[in-house]
Amino acid sequence: MKLFTRTLILCLALALTNAAPSQPPDLAAEVAALPDRCAGIEFDAITPDEQGNTFFFKGGHLWKGFHGPAQPSNEIFKKLHDIHPLGHVDAAFRMHNAENPDDHDHIYFFVDDKVVRFYDQSLEDGYPKEMTEDFPGVPTHLDAAVECPKTECMTNTVLFFKGQDVYFYDLATKTVKTKTWSHLPQCTSAFRWLEHYYCFHGHNFTRFHPVSGEVTGNYPKDARNYFMKCPNFGHGGDHTVPKCSEVKLDAISTDDTGKTYFFAGSTYMRLDTSRDGLHGFPITRSWKELTNGVDAVFSYIDKIYLMKDDKVYIYKADAHYSLIEGYPKSLKEELGIEGHVDAAFLCPNEHTVHIIQGGRMRDVDLTATPRAITNDVPLPPHLSDIDAGLCGPDGVKVFKGSQFYLYESPKILATGRIIVEPQKITSAMMGCQD
C-alpha cells in the first residue's frame, strides 16, 4: 500500500487570512488544504489524456500540466471519487492501442481491485469493473502503470508495477509476463513522456528502459527540476522563455511522424504536432555525439541528417535516435558537397535536398549513387546569411535571425527576384514570447 500524505500550506492560509480578513474562513481553509507539489510530495499516479494534457494525482487532488495549483480531481474526472471514499487512485495510464480504436487513448484508473475508464473526461458505461475483467492475471492494489507501444516494447503492452515486480500485459494476447527489477526504486507512479519512461518515487524519478529496466545516467533526480515549475528549482525562477525578437535558429526540420525540431546553440526544442507540446533539451540528450551544436539538419526516410562543420551524422528517427554505424562521414563522401553548410531542407515526398551555402543553393539527389550536386544556383542578394530552412505544405521558409521569408517552392526561392516581405517568428511557431 503506497504512502498517503497531505501537505498543508500553512503559510498560504496565514497570508490569505492576513491579506483578506473579510474572506470566509472556510475558503481560506480550502486553499490551505491544497497540496503543493513544489513542497516535495509523492504522486499516486501520473497520466496524459487523449489531448496530451498531463495529470499528476495525489489523494483527492490533481495538477493539470507542469505548472499551476492543485484542484479536486473530481472536478475534472467526475465520479472518480465515488469509486473510493478517499478519492485516491493507485495507478493510471493512457491506453496506446491504435489497432483497437475502442480502447485507444482512453484513460484507465486503478483503485484497490477495481478499474474505471474515462474518455473525454467522462466515465464510460459499464465501469467500475473488477480488474480481472479487463486485465486478467494482473494483481490488485497496484503501485503504478504505464503504456508501452509496440514500437518501443515490440508489442502493444502495459507495464504494471507492484513492489519490485513488473507485470507485462500483452494487449493482443492478454497474457502476462513478470519480471523483478530489484535495482529500480519502488515506483509509486510511472510516466511515458516523449518516448522515455520514468519511475517516480518520493519527490524523485528514475528513467528506465521499458523492456530491460536498465537505468543509465545519474539517477535519481528531483522531479521539481524537470516535471514542474517550482521557485528555485530547474524550470522555476531561473528559467526564462526567450523573446521571439531574440530567437536565432541554427537549423530546423520536420520528420516523417510530424515532429518538428528547432536547433539553437547547444539546445533543441521538439514540437509534436499532435500532442505533448513544445519542450526544450540539450542536443546531447538525443544526439550525444553532437557536443557543439549543429549547422543544418534535414529528415529523409526515417533518418535524420545532422551536419556540423565538414561532417554529417545520420541517426535513425526512432525513439532513441541511434547513430547509424559508420557515421559520421565527411560531407564530401556522403552528399558530394564541401564547405560550411548554412541551411538544408527537403520537401515532403521528394528526394532532393536543397543545401544553402553562402549565397548559393545546391541540390543533391538522394537516390543517386554516388551523390553529387545536380543543380547550383545563386540566391537573391537579400537571402545571404540564411540560418535555417524548412519545406512543408505551406511552402519553403528560410530563417534569418528572428524573421523568415516564405516562398511557394524551392524553384521560386531560387529564381524569384521579387523581394518578399519578411515575417516575424511567433510564439505559435516556437513557444517564444511575442
pLDDT digits (tens, 9 = 90+) for 120-174: 989 999 999 999 999 999 999 999 999 999 989 999 999 999 999 999 999 999 9
- Max mean pLDDT among 71-85, 220-234, 377-391 falls in 377-391
- Rounded distance between C-alpha atoms, residue 221 and residue 199, angstroms: 11
Question: What's the whole-model pTM score?
Answer: 0.65
Q: What is the pLDDT of residue 19?
A: 37
Q: What is the pLDDT of residue 269?
A: 84
Phi and psi dihedrals of 345, rounded to 5? -155, 150
- Rounded distance between C-alpha atoms, residue 7 and residue 12, angstroms: 12
Domain boundaries, the chain: 10-225, 244-430
Q: Are strands 122-123 and 129-130 parallel, antiparallel or unpaired?
A: unpaired
Least confident of 22-26, 95-99, 352-356: 22-26
Least confident of 6-10, 110-114, 286-290, 350-354: 6-10
Q: What is the CATH number of domain 244-430?
A: 2.110.10.10
Phi and psi dihedrals of 335, rounded to 5? -120, -5
Q: For every residue of 211-260, which 3-state class applies, written as one string?
A: CCCCCCCCCCEEHHHCCCCCCCCCCCCCCCCCEHHHCCCCEEEECCCCEE
- Rounded distance between C-alpha atoms, residue 277 and residue 13, angstroms: 34
Name, in order, each residue with C-beta under 8 angstroms of 365's C-beta and a sequence gap of 6 or more.
Answer: 351, 352, 371, 372, 374
**Residue range 420-429, pLDDT digits in tens:** 899 998 877 7
Q: Are strands 114-119 and 144-148 parallel, antiparallel or unpaired?
A: unpaired
DSSP secondary structure string for all residues of 179-215: EE-TTSPPPSEEEEETTEEEEEETTEEEEE-TTT---
Q: What is the pLDDT of residue 86?
A: 52
- Rounded distance between C-alpha atoms, residue 251 and residue 263, angstroms: 5
C-alpha 384 chain-centroid distance: 34
> pLDDT-based confidence at 415, cuts 50/70/90?
confident
Question: Residues 400-407: what's their mean pLDDT?
Answer: 93
Q: Is residue 434 packed enough to be buried (19+ CB in 10 Å), middle (13-18) or exposed (0-12)?
A: exposed
Q: Find out whether 235 is annotated in a ligand binding site.
A: yes
Q: Is residue 200 packed enough to be buried (19+ CB in 10 Å), middle (13-18) or exposed (0-12)?
A: buried
Rg (CA), the chain: 25
Q: Find out whether 354 is annotated in a ligand binding site.
A: no
Q: What is the pLDDT of residue 15?
A: 34
**Residue range 39-79, pLDDT digits in tens:** 999 999 999 998 888 999 999 999 998 888 999 998 999 87
- Rounded distance between C-alpha atoms, residue 287 and residue 307, angstroms: 12
Q: What is the CATH number of domain 10-225?
A: 2.110.10.10
Helix 10-19, helix 25-32: angle, nearest 10: 150
Per DSSP, the three-state class of 90 is: coil
Whether 10-225 shares its CATH topology with 244-430 is answered: yes
Q: What is the pLDDT of residue 155?
A: 94
* Residue in this structure with the C-alpha cell 541511434, named with its chain if needed: 322
8 Å CB contact between 174 and 164: no
C-alpha 414 chain-centroid distance: 36
